Structure 1
Amino acid sequence: MDLSLSSLLSLARFTVQNPRMGARMVMQADLPMSARWVALALMAVTSAILAHLAFALMPAEVRQTMAGAMSSPLTSAVMQGGLMLAAVFVIHWVGRWRGGTGRFEDALILMIWLQFILLILQVVQIVSQVLLPPVSVLVGYISVGIFLWLLSNFVAELHGFKSVLLTFLGVLLTLIAVGFILALVLIPFMGPMI
């Protein structure tokens, strides 16, 4: 697999157009596990840097509201890496529980690849935030749609599921369930809301 930036960008564009084939090509690259872990860390760090850059470009009143969540790029990178790794485990375990055949190492590389594509969209959103702020909101909505589209196709390809629509419904139900569980776990630590 050619890891030059131009090749990765071309493959990212192809993946958005044909997600299952793109996922297959990424899995067939058969990168060693050490390279996958390094790529996960790189995606987490890059995502944190871009998030803090986008945060710095926000209006002062928004920055004051979100200051606690964006206290340190290092904390953001650790949280991002942890969330990505948790997503890999959920994709692997839930897919296997539903009869899928995907391997953990393939779930890992697909999550890294998904994050790479999302980082490209994040750069586009930051540029539009500077040049045309209203377009930035639209890019954000498009990014969410692309995320769900790619995730559903990646999970279907990973586990050998035929229906992307049923996989999408499974992804939505899993996201809701995970969100509910996280809320139950985190509520005691949040303190009073008023």
Structure 2
Amino acid sequence: MSGWRDLLVDLARETLRSPRKAAGRLVALDPPMEARWLALLFVAVFAVFETRLALFLMPIGAESGVFAILGNPWLGVPAQIASLVLIAAAMAWIGGLFGGGGRFADALLLVVWLEFLLTVAQAVQMVAMLVLPPLGALLAIGVLAGFLWLMVQFTAALHGFQNLFKVFLGMVAGFVVIVTTLAMLFGALGIVTQV
């Protein structure tokens, strides 16, 4: 078990120091597709558990809308899984439109890893909010900026792109498409009543 822990810690450090190299290392591991789907399920459950914990710390009335959905295990886990699969599909497909050679399976692996790191960072942020709220707010901005930066780097590494600005613009366009698609899907299912 310590071997896995050491690998995760080493990969996390490398992701922060040299994101493209870490992305290449993750892809080179080439785990079977079943392991990728299991990792996706794990991070989705982890994220929902963390959201439920955060809801206990929120003021009364703040637990409505999207937070209530993401904190509900029966809705949150499928919503997390669908969102991450959609992001991975967009990462692979949009990059492919611009000449990239990344596969969906590798995009899924990279997105799952980033989501895992994001949930760990948000756990640290939650503790900081309890101890020193202004520090928690600053951490929230830092986590978001760091996540976007890593997403750009991982997308560029996946497809072999060099121009990070173009990758960022592609991500913004992809984000608009994903948010619109999810809003229409949730609206059609009657899930989101308040955003």
**TM-score after normalising by structure 2:** 0.87
Cα offsets for 1:89-115 (capped at 9, x unmatched): 111111111111001111111011111
Cα offsets for 1:54-88 (capped at 9, x unmatched): 11111223236767435622321111111101111
Aligned length: 192
Q: Cα–Cα, structure 1 residues 64 and 91, in superposed 2: closer, same or farther, change >3 Å?
A: closer
Q: Which residue of 1 aligns with 2:167?
A: 167
- 1:69 matches 2:58: no
Supply the AA of the counterpart residue of 1:88.
A
Cα offsets for 1:101-159 (capped at 9, x unmatched): 00111111101111111011111111112211222221111111111101111111101
C-alpha distance in 2 between matches for 1:49 and 1:158:
30
- 1:88 matches 2:88: yes
Q: Cα–Cα, structure 1 residues 38 and 130, in superposed 2: closer, same or farther, change >3 Å?
A: same
Supply the AA of the counterpart residue of 2:139.
V
Q: Which residue of 2 aligns with 1:5?
A: 5
Q: Which residue of 2 aligns with 1:110?
A: 110
Q: Cα–Cα, structure 1 residues 85 and 181, in superposed 2: closer, same or farther, change >3 Å?
A: closer
Supply the AA of the counterpart residue of 2:12.
A
Q: Which residue of 2 aligns with 1:126?
A: 126
**Secondary structure of the equivalent of 2:15?**
helix
Contact 2:70 2:79 in 1 (8 A): no
Structure 1: gaps spanning 5 or more residues: none
Overall identity of the aligned pairs, in %: 33
Equivalence map 1:28-47=2 (5 Å): 28-47=28-47
Supply the AA of the counterpart residue of 1:155.
T
**TM-score after normalising by structure 1:** 0.88
**Secondary structure of the equivalent of 2:127?**
helix
Supply the AA of the counterpart residue of 2:37.
W
* Farther off after superposition, 57-66 or 75-84: 57-66
C-alpha distance in 1 between matches for 2:43 and 2:6:
17
Q: Quote how far apart the aligned CAs of 1:15 are.
A: 0.4
